[in-house]
A and B are shown apart, each in its own frame.
Chain A
Amino acid sequence: EVQLVESGGGLVQPGGSLRLSCAASGFTFSTFWMTWVRQAPGKGLEWVANIKEDGGQKYYVDSVKGRFTISRDNAKKSLYLQMNSLRAEDTAVYYCASSRFNMVGYMDVWGKGTTVTVSS
């Protein structure tokens, strides 16, 4: 079964750090772009970052540049999002998604999301 499962969310104080993980199964993870998308409570979807198959290209939304780092381990079929200097506005459900048809904008497989809450 083609599947993505996120983990690592939780409650963290402002200024703290979290590392999200996304485990892939059922498809050849190493050959596809991967993306993190988040959704704040009651708000719309926001693209956070994406990473090329070999990790050689990475892109970030301006609001997380310098604080978040996207990475992947193709041997472990896993995607990561290291989040530092967290702010209240980073509170959201974080989804990972894959683009399995060689179109970066076509995210055909999504995880169920992991919740990050930044609060004191």
Chain B
Amino acid sequence: SYELTQPPSVSVSPGQTARITCSGDALPKKYAYWYQQRSGQAPVVVIYEDSKRPSGIPERFSGSSSGTMATLTISGAQVDDEADYYCYSTDSSGNYVFGTGTEVTVL
């Protein structure tokens, strides 16, 4: 089955840049989406179609994709950004999958 691989954790100081990677064989042909999940809450999409930011999501969140890797960047991370982040994409058969998840710590 298709897998998306992320680092388990990323730690960043307030105001610094956090980068979260997502590796998957189908990413050259399929879009990546990024979801933020704060503790005890439902997920929220922060990036769609690799690099687009939904209305209401701060500009410090950005996304990119190159080859088999998608990247979520948080520029000028804030304490409020502490959460788990998941990439999400599809394989060629219509099935979707979440990445393994990355815990972001801002301290």
Chain A residues within CB distance 8 Å of chain B: 35, 37, 44-47, 50, 57, 59-62, 95, 101, 103-108, 110-113
For B48, give its contact among A37, A47, A105 (CB under 8 Å).
A105
Count residues of chain B with CB under 8 A from any CB of chain A. Answer: 25
Closest B residue to A113 by CB, please name it: B42
Main secondary structure of the interface of B (DSSP, over half): strand
Chain A residue nearest to B52 (CB atoms) is A106
Q: How far is the CA of A59 from the CA of B95 in the complex (A)?
A: 6
B90 at the interface (CB under 8 A from A): yes
B21-42 interface with A by 8 A CB criterion: 31, 33, 35, 37, 42
Instruction: Identify which of A44, A57, A60 contacts B86 (C-beta below 8 A).
Output: A44
Residues of B within 8 A of A57 (CB): 94
Q: Considering only CB atoms, which chain A residue lies closest to B49 in the complex? A: A103
Q: How far is the CA of A113 from the CA of B42 in the complex (A)?
A: 8
Interface residue SS majority, chain A = loop
A-B contact count (CB 8 A): 61
CB-nearest residue of chain A to B102: A44
Smallest Cβ distance from B33 to chain A, in angstroms? 5
Instruction: State which of B33, B43, B100 has its C-beta within 8 Å of the C-beta of A110.
Output: B43
Task: Determine the distance from Cα of A106 to Cα of B50 in the docked complex, in whole angstroms.
Answer: 11
State whether A105 touches B42 (Cβ < 8 A): no
A36 to B90, CA, bound (A): 15
Q: Quote the shortest CB–CB distance from A42 to chain B (angstroms).
A: 11
Q: Given the complex of chains A and B, what is the CA–CA distance between A113 and B40 in angstroms?
A: 10
Instruction: Specify which of A46, A59, A60 is in contact with B98 (CB 8 Å cutoff).
Output: A46
